[in-house]
Chains A and B, each alone.
Chain A
């Protein structure tokens, strides 16, 4: 089965500093990888995805993620954090089901707290 791991429950960073939220994956075949963000009392919002092509993927709100096949990682990054970036971040991977259809399997989530 495909899976993703987010090793940090929480990441703390000061405003203006670079941030990294970590994600590692385990898949058979080529991975489809995603990052989502969830603000309080809201659904998840799509940030970016890697399907194929350049290893550095740029997404919404200034976020980017680097696909590293040798390290099986897909870390989310931003050069300069904002207080408004404080939220819950989820990494996800495509998984093919026995039904023949595909779904997403999500990591446990990482809470990002950006202090002023």
Chain B
């Protein structure tokens, strides 16, 4: 198993609350990613980073924001949660030398009431 951690694993929260999903990896990987996974299985890339102070938006438009201040840490923030944000969020990382092979964390399952 890859050394990539996500907290919390499960979160139930009310509409309008600010939340931060944590993702950390201890492998020194330069590249990190956030995906949103639909209940019907499909993964959508929402953010990625190729290093410290480098972040890009992914394919799926998202109201979330990310930061990359340290190599090992890539948190995702929702300023005001809504029921439409209910989903599973998966974090992944990839070393530069492995040609895009990504290693995934266990995911955070978010429910916004």
Q: Which residues of A pack against B, CB within 8 Å?
A: 32, 34, 36, 41-46, 49, 51, 88, 90, 94, 97, 99, 101-106, 108-109, 111
Contacts and interface: CB of A to CB of B under 8 A. Distances in A.
The secondary structure that dominates the A interface is: strand
B45 A103 contact: yes
B100 A104 contact: yes
Report the 8 A-B pairs with minimum CB-CB distance, sorted nearest first: A43-B104, A109-B41, A44-B104, A106-B43, A108-B42, A94-B100, A43-B106, A99-B56
Interface residues of B, number: 26
Contact of A103 (B48, B90, B105, B106): B48
Interface string B55-78: 010110000000000000000000
A102 to B, nearest CB: 6
Interface string B1-17: 10010100000000000
